[in-house]
Amino acid sequence: MKGLTEKQRGILVYIEDFITAEGMSPTVYEIAEHFQIKTSTVFAHLRALQKKNCISRSSKARSIALTGPKRKMRHPAGLRAIPVYDGHGGDTSLYSGVQKELYCDASLFEKTLHTDCRNLFALRVHGSDMKEFGILDGDIAIVKKHPQSVKKGDILVTEENGESILKSCAEVKDDHLSLTDASGKTEECSLKDLPLKGVVVGVQRAL
């Protein structure tokens, strides 16, 4: 993948992983949703990848095809890569600053959460403020993006001043939530006004 930018490499890897998992190529909209970028930005990256002879595509849906050499498989069949982000600030977007990848059994999430790994990301936790909820310093929280609903007891990932913040949902009444942060402070808010990035669905313990 020489000569590619970091974002182009990421999109190319995503396309290859998608094709391997689904047996077809992703749409522009699926790529945009995965990376949380505009479709116009995706089109620009795809044009660049075409010029560098990494992919070919037409105007038809799911027409992206790989033209360059395939990557060597880095993990056994059935495992999928989840991007790991650092929870500390500096970035206005939770989805920038990828640190590494975490591999997990895709079937586990498909069967228990009825979702696939493209809807997941992982977040490295700093500090032991959430130890009351079983999340310790250095742990990696596995998060489901943009959940359709929130229930009492969920650990939510929100964003404040460019940092990812974990909060416990203490109560849900209609569209209103009662949230408790690491300091024990409780706040009331509307779900539609909450900068919700996801719900924690698993934790990998730091060794």
Q: 46-62, pLDDT tens digit by residue?
A: 999 999 999 999 888 88
Same domain, yes or no: 91 and 157: yes
Is the model's pLDDT at 112 over the cut of 80?
Answer: no
Q: How far apart are the first and last CA of the chain?
A: 32
Whether residues 15 and 87 share a domain: the answer is: no
Task: Please indicate, yes or no, whether residues 83 and 62 belong to a single structural domain of this protein.
Answer: no
The answer on 174 and 119 residing in a single domain is yes
Torsion angles phi and psi, residue 142, rounded to 5: -90, 125
The verdict on 89 and 161 lying in the same domain is yes
- Is residue 193 very low, low, confident or very high in pLDDT (cuts 50, 70, 90)? confident
The region, left, alpha or beta by phi > 0 then psi within -120 to 50, assigned to residue 50 is alpha
Whether residues 56 and 99 fall in one domain? no
Same domain, 125 and 168: yes
In a domain, 87, yes or no: yes
Confirm whether 71 is domain-assigned: no
Residues 95 and 55 in one domain: no
- 133 with 61, same domain? no
CATH of residue 155's domain is 2.10.109.10
Domain check: are 53 and 93 in the same one? no
Domains: count for the chain: 2
Is 74 part of a structural domain of the chain? no
**pLDDT tier, 2 (very low <50, low <70, confident <90, very high otherwise):** low
The pTM of the whole model exceeds 0.85: no
- DSSP annotation of 193 reads G
Of 71, 97, 70, the C-alpha closest to 84 is: 97
**Residue-range definition of the domain harbouring residue 173:** 79-204
Q: Is 199 exposed, middle or buried (0-12, 13-18, 19+ CB in 10 A)?
A: buried
